[in-house]
């Protein structure tokens, strides 16, 4: 009696039988379409290397130029081509590399007090009049 | 001197197509992957010359192309919700007609296997590659390829046993 738990093993004939199954061929119309595209690529002149590389190199050169300018600017007392600023003035966004301490000091400095409101002005006038 | 593309196509396209068709049920994707293989050869004609085993190299290229395209396609589909084109049957129709039921049963059983097992099974059964070659083609170890093959064959046996035993 054949056991349900010990099924009869299928030998190599199973694999052999599977391997003999005829496989579908690639559609005939694909050949022409694929080869036409492949030949179009093969015949196309190779993209000049300058076109592929120059964009990257130009971007890199621009970045390095900017860095060089900023570093040069940081060693100069004033920005080239502009009038020197009066003592005690600077443009933080242009001079971030110049002296971080000064920039930090400016950031931490107490903001100037806002102009008095009309109400405050009236009150001050009243107080002064009373004092007088 | 690289071989003409026509010669490469005639020698390998059917095998690559069947392999891709077994790996994916999206016929449009299969066509794109097959095309990608030949576009790659057109771009770098010396690629095939450098390969130790041209068939293994082409199968690996096709497998990679299919994987990349499927990844892009699944992303695109997630956005566009387009339906894939259903692939035709992998096997040619058999005669007599009762063999055709066996063909359909194998096809259904193959669809129940994970894609990586199906790929190994295909390369072993229908390409007659060694596990070392399969490992190279699928970028995995020969041991992994061998175990995937055993798992796949066991599962196929279980699925097809009733039908197969009738024929013994």
**For chain B, which domains are there?**
1-85 (1.10.1740), 95-168 (1.10.10.10)
The complex scores an ipTM of 0.80
More confident residue, A4 or A33: A33
pTM of full prediction above 0.80: no
Mean of pLDDT values over A9-25:
77
Quick check: A79 pLDDT over 80? no
Residue with tokens 């196509």: B9
Going by C-alpha positions, the residue among B159, B147, B59, B149 that lies closest to residue B107 is B159
Residue in chain A closest to B161 (alpha carbons) equals A10
If DSSP states are collapsed to H, E and C, what string results for B55-117?
HHHHHHHHHHHHHHHHHHHHHHHHHHCCCCCECCCCECCCCCHHHHHHHHHHHHHHHCCCHHH
The two structure tokens encoding residue A18: 């599977």
Residues 33-62, chain A: which have Cβ within 8 Å of B? Answer: 33-35, 37-39, 41-42
Q: Which residues of chain A neighbour B12 with C-beta distances below 8 Å?
A: none
More confident residue, B58 or A95: B58
- From B5, B94, B125, residue closest to A38, measured CB to CB: B5
Tens digit of each residue's pLDDT (9 = 90 or more) over A37-74: 998 887 776 665 555 556 677 888 888 888 888 877 66
| pLDDT attached to residue B106 | 86
Kindly determine whether residue A41 and residue B90, on different chains, have CB atoms separated by under 8 Å: no
Give the number of other Cβ atoms within 10 Å of residue A66's Cβ. 10
| pLDDT attached to residue A51 | 58
A28 touches chain B (CB under 8 A): no
Q: How far is A55 from chain B (nearest CA, A)?
A: 23
| pLDDT attached to residue A76 | 61
The two structure tokens encoding residue A49: 């290397």
| pLDDT attached to residue B140 | 92
Please identify every stretch of chain B with a pLDDT value under 70, giving residue numbers as ranges. 1, 74-87, 93-99, 164-168
What distance, in Å, lies between the first and last C-alpha atoms of chain B? 52
């Amino acid at each position: 009696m054949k056991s349900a738990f010990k099924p009869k093993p299928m030998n190599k004939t199973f694999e052999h039988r599977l391997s003999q199954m005829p496989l579908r061929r690639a559609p005939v119309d694909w050949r022409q379409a694929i080869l036409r595209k492949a030949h179009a690529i093969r015949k196309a002149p190779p993209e000049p290397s300058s076109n592929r590389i120059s964009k990257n190199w130009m971007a890199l050169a621009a970045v390095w130029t900017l860095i060089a300018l900023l570093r040069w600017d940081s060693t100069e007392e004033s920005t080239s081509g502009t009038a020197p600023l009066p003592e005690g003035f600077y443009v933080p966004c242009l001079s971030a590399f110049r002296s971080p301490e000064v920039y930090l000091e400016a950031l931490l400095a107490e903001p100037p007090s806002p102009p008095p409101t009309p109400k405050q002005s009236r009150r001050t006038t009243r107080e002064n009049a009373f004092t007088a | 001197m690289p071989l003409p593309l026509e010669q490469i196509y005639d020698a390998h396209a059917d095998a690559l197509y069947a392999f891709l068709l077994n790996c994916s049920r999206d016929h449009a994707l299969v066509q794109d992957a097959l095309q990608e293989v030949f576009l790659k050869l057109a771009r770098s004609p010396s690629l095939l010359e450098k390969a130790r085993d041209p068939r293994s190299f082409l199968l690996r290229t096709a497998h990679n192309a299919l994987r990349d395209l499927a990844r892009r396609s699944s992303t695109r589909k997630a956005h566009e919700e387009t339906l894939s084109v259903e692939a035709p049957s992998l096997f040619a129709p058999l005669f007599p007609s009762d063999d055709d039921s066996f063909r359909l049963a194998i096809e259904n059983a193959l669809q129940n296997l994970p894609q990586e097992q199906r790929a190994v099974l295909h390369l072993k059964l229908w390409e007659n590659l060694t596990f070392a070659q399969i490992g190279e083609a699928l970028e995995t170890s020969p041991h992994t390829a061998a175990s995937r093959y055993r798992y796949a064959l066991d599962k196929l046996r279980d699925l097809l046993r009733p039908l197969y035993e009738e024929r013994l």
